[in-house]
Every structure is written in C-alpha cells, then in structure tokens.
Structure 1
Amino acid sequence: MPLVVMCGYPCSGKTRRAEELKVYFEQNCDRQVHIVGDGPLGVDKNVVYADSQKEKNVRSSLKAEVERKVNKDHIVILDSLNYIKGYRYELFCLIKHAQTPFCLVYCLTSDEVSSTLNKNRDAAEQYSQEILDALVLRFEAPDSRNRWDSPLFTILKDDTPPYEDISDALFKRKAPPRNMSTQSQPLSSANFLYELDKITQDVLMAIFDAQKTSVPGDLISVPGATEKIELTRSVNMAELRKLRRQFISYTKTHPTESEHICNMFVQYLKRSLH
C-alpha cells in the first residue's frame, strides 16, 4: 500500500529509522512491512557508487522491487540514499500509477557527522572517504515545494521520529491523482501510430534546432506542448532518438488520445534528461 522513501547522506541513520518505522507500523497499524534496500542485493557500495552504470542498475533493481511489493495490504520502506531528485520523481510516478500514498523521510546530518559515523562502522561496511565525499557533493536535498518530495519529514540524528504524523500522511491522505503520462487511454484514432511517429519526430527537431541558439539552462518551447523543457547540457540527436524509441515502444502498449501525445512526450523527456 503506502510507500516510505528514506533519503539522506551515507551513514545518516536511514536504516535505523527504517527499522524504527517498521516496528511502529507493525505494532500500531497491524500492517505487514517490507524494507527494500541495498543490503539484500549484496552490492559493494564502493564499487557501485564509483561506476555510474552499476549505480543506475542498482537503482533500477530497487525500483523494480518496490513496484513488485507495493499493494493494498502492505507498507513498503525504501531504504537507500535516494539522493537524485530525478529518481525520486520516478518513484513518485510509480506510486501515482499504483494509486497509493507515500511520504519522504529525510535523515539530515552534516557531512562531518556522516564521515565520523562512517569511520565508526566495521571496516567491511565503510564507504571509502573518496566515495562518501563524492556522494555528499552529488546529493540533491529534498524540497517540500516539489510534489515528489512532499509530504516531507526531516529527522535530525537525535530526534524521535514523528510517528503519528508519518502515519497520518500514509493513511489519512489520498493518493496523488494520475496524470496524462500515467493513465492508459483508449485508442480512438485509426491514425494513432502515424500521429505518434510524426509528433515525436517534430518534438525532436524542435529541441535539436533550439539548441543551436540556446545555452544550457534556457527553457525550450515545443510547438503543441504546454510545458517547456530546460536542458542543463547539450543533447545530441542520437540520445534524443533513443528516448523517442523508448517512448514510442511504451505508448504503443499504453495508447492515448493523439492530442495528448506531445505533452506526454515532453514530460517523458524532462524526466529522462534531468
């Protein structure tokens, strides 16, 4: 049923808080609780976080496990760094599709405290100082103004978790409504595949052409879309075409009305290129 996403620096107490929440939910909410985390995957954190592709594979595995376990009867706690806001947005889309509430629990520490706690761990469980420093540098702090980071509960090292508030967020709030990109609409146009191909190609060309006169950080308007795309880096046509193929493959099995394609594709690109 609900999803609790843990977030914080390495060695900030996420696993301890996840276990505390598990005990509380089992004793007070009569719910089965699943903790999904890096541990069962048997990964070497220093190897994984030194290789972007391996890290991406681990995140995908964790997301897939969350998706398998989220249902109407159980609570799922994702115990991982979850330090990339784009990944947290993917989790938000997942729970919107599953139509279940969620919240984010942010274990807030300073980098000095995390480093000290790391050194107090058994040698086999420690992050190397180089990896820990890199993760702290890359960390994208949650912001409650973002819908994918809300409701947000920030817990300091010596705080008692706000158990009742977290429980209310999970059991007394409605699930976020689905949007166009997470709903399956009936296929109503005989020319759907033609429209899908043409519209997505037009979007690519609009982005590619706009990059010739823009700089990273500019908002790019796409004809037919209500949203704009902010590119933080230059994107070549090969990468755009790859994302287009992925979107087309998904949309063929989840058809929508033709007038929604452009906005859906723009939303997809914004998430994928973030």
Structure 2
Amino acid sequence: MPLILLSGYPSSGKTHRARQLLDFFHAKIASNSSLPSPDPRVSRLKAHHIFDQSLGISRDVYRDSRTEKDARAAEYSAVKRLLGKDDMVIVDGLNYIKGFRYQLFCEAKALGTPNCVVSPLHAALKQLALKTPEVHVGTPVSTCREINSRLLGSPETDGGYPEDIFENLVFRYEEPNGMTRWDSPLFTVLYDDDAPPLEPIWEAMVGKEGEVKVVKPNAATVLKPAAESNYLYELDKATQSILTQILEWQKDHPGEGGEITIPDVPAKKIEMPASPLSLPQLQRFRRQFIALNRQHTLSQSRIKDLFVDYLNDNFR
C-alpha cells in the first residue's frame, strides 16, 4: 500500500505532521470497521511510522558521510521490510537527497503501490505556495534555526541538531519538485496550518470510497531476467576493469583529487575525492552495483556508463 515521504529542512515540523497523518489513518481504518458494509481493503490496512529514533539513528550520523549512508541504508531496509499491499508506511525523515527519494519511489512502484511527498512550508510563503502548489518552496532557514535552538535546549524532546550539522544539512537540501514523477503528488503544508490536507492525501494513496487505487509498475522498476547468457560475466568484467583503472590512477596521483576518463565512456568522468579510496571500499561499491543490476537487462554498452554514474554518486 502507500508510501508517504516527509521531506523538509531539519526542525521544520516533519515529525509533528507525520503523527497527524498517523492518527488520521488510524481513525479512518477504525471508522471503516464500524460501517454497516466495511470496505475490506481498508479493514486490512496497517499504518507504520518510520523515523530516526525508531531505527536507533542519532543526529550525529549526519556529521560523517559514511555513517549518514549507513543511516539511509537502515531507513531503506525498514521501508522494504514494511511496505506491502496492506501497509501504509510514513517515512518521517529529512529525505533531502532527490536520488534517495527516487530510490524509494522505485521501490513503491515495483510493488505497484502509490506514493506521495509531504513537505512543510512557512506561513510567509503561503501566497506563493497557493499559486504554484506543485513546486516546493523551502521553509525559511531562520525559522528552522530558531526552532532547532529551542529543541536543543529542551530535555523533553528528542533534541535538535548540533549547529554545524544543521547548517550543513540546510546547505545540502535538495527541494522536492512536484513536476518530477518521484516527487509527485507533492502536498505542501503551511507552517501555521492546523493539519496537512488529510483527506486529499488519503484519496491520493487509497482512493475514494468504492474506487480501487491501482499503480502499474513500469519498465524502469520491474526486474527482468537477464536475456543474455553472458550478461553476469560482462557485468563483472566491466565493473572490475573500471576499478583497476581507478587503482592505477591513485598510484600515480597519491592523495589527490581529480577526474578519470574511462576509454569506453568518453562523455563522462569519474570525479575522485581528495582522500584515497581503499580496495575494500571500491569492491563494496562494485558488489552493491552488481546486486542492483544483476536481474536487469542492461545492454553491455551501458554497464560502464551507469557504473561511472553510480560511483560518482557514492564518492560525493
């Protein structure tokens, strides 16, 4: 069933909105059971709330890229574990990287379930938000900073973000855009609104009474068996050759950042970080890429191209 992503600046009110959604979903499911003719689809629904504290993730994980990636992996695993035809999953987190939102969108699409993005807005932006509801406009940083300071000083809350982490997350935030399919439908919530648009979200995710919400997986999210008998061999060979070129480049450029041109991928370059990458690190990226693509029918000509993109995303 539906996947609802909360996205916004740190301390912008996401958890408060997530709890409002959770209470509303529980009430809708309970009220359905009291009807003379309950809708069996709604009766089977269960609502789940995923957030950092429920996964044992502290604010400090956002201080380091490695621990942050581990935190995103934990969130992704929790979504995969809970998402099903009878489950509504509210993912309450920063979800500030558009690539990660796309990854979760693909997971929902592959299961044939709808998804949406809910994003808090500030009251001062109300006029603009009403004119262009499909475009996200971030909550003013000054407001989030003020709220975060109060949370840091309050022992009765989960706590805010340390100031350096807060500023870094704000700087790196990638706003949702309702014109992209993975951020659509996008529901904006004004900072001073009493609640999110609860009924519209329910109808977008579950459907109106008597309506069955059907989402068809498309070619981008349906796993297909490999058509070529030597596909896995070529996948292994192509990725290993790129790792070899990276290791050779690092020998000639110790402790340097730079760009590597792959002969078979002239249009793209691997953007190397300043700190050297060890062989175990590179092999881990390679294994992850192979695991993601072993059941897809990628053409051999695209393997290196996509692997370069994958490495660049993980090197940032």
Q: Deviations over 1:217-272 (max 9, x none)?
A: xxx9977xxxx8687x4579978776444333444xx4344x64544664565455
After TM superposition, give the deviation of residue 174 of structure 1 in Å. Answer: 3.8
After TM superposition, give the deviation of residue 60 of structure 1 in Å. Answer: 0.9
Report the AA paired with residue 70 of structure 1: L
Query: Which of residues 100, 124, 146 is equivalent to 1:116?
Result: 146
Q: Does 1:62 align with 2:75?
A: yes
Identity of aligned residues (%): 38
Report the AA paired with residue 65 of structure 1: A
Residues 26 and 116 of structure 1: is their aligned pair in 2 closer, same or farther, counting only changes over 3 Å? Answer: same
Residues 74 and 265 of structure 1: is their aligned pair in 2 closer, same or farther, counting only changes over 3 Å? Answer: farther
Residues 133 and 256 of structure 1: is their aligned pair in 2 closer, same or farther, counting only changes over 3 Å? Answer: closer
After TM superposition, give the deviation of residue 186 of structure 1 in Å. Answer: 3.1
TM-score, normalised to structure 2's length? 0.68
Equivalent in the alignment of 1:164: 199
Report the AA paired with residue 43 of structure 1: I
After TM superposition, give the deviation of residue 91 of structure 1 in Å. Answer: 1.0
- The 3-state SS of whatever aligns with 1:77 is strand
Conserved? CA contact 2:238–2:303, under 8 Å: no
Report the AA paired with residue 14 of structure 1: K
After TM superposition, give the deviation of residue 32 of structure 1 in Å. Answer: 1.7
Cα distance in 2, alignment partners of residues 194 and 271 from structure 1: 19
Name the Cα RMSD after superposition.
Answer: 3.6
Q: Does 1:175 align with 2:220?
A: no
**Of 113-122 and 148-157, the range deviating more from structure 2:** 113-122
Conserved? CA contact 1:243–1:269, under 8 Å: no
Conserved? CA contact 2:264–2:304, under 8 Å: no
Report the AA paired with residue 84 of structure 1: I
Is the radius of gyration larger for structure 1 or structure 2?
A: 2
After TM superposition, give the deviation of residue 104 of structure 1 in Å. Answer: 0.4
Equivalent in the alignment of 2:96: 83
- The 3-state SS of whatever aligns with 1:49 is helix
> Which 5+ residue runs of structure 2 have no aligned equivalent?
30-41, 122-138, 208-212, 247-257
**Of 261-270 and 114-123, the range deviating more from structure 2:** 261-270
Residues 86 and 44 of structure 1: is their aligned pair in 2 closer, same or farther, counting only changes over 3 Å? Answer: same
Residues 246 and 51 of structure 1: is their aligned pair in 2 closer, same or farther, counting only changes over 3 Å? Answer: closer
Conserved? CA contact 2:96–2:175, under 8 Å: yes
Conserved? CA contact 1:101–1:176, under 8 Å: no
After TM superposition, give the deviation of residue 64 of structure 1 in Å. Answer: 0.5
Cα distance in 1, alignment partners of residues 235 and 19 from structure 2: 46
TM-score, normalised to structure 1's length? 0.77
Aligned pair count reads 259
Residues 117 and 98 of structure 1: is their aligned pair in 2 closer, same or farther, counting only changes over 3 Å? Answer: same
Residues 194 and 118 of structure 1: is their aligned pair in 2 closer, same or farther, counting only changes over 3 Å? Answer: closer
> Which 5+ residue runs of structure 1 have no aligned equivalent?
208-215
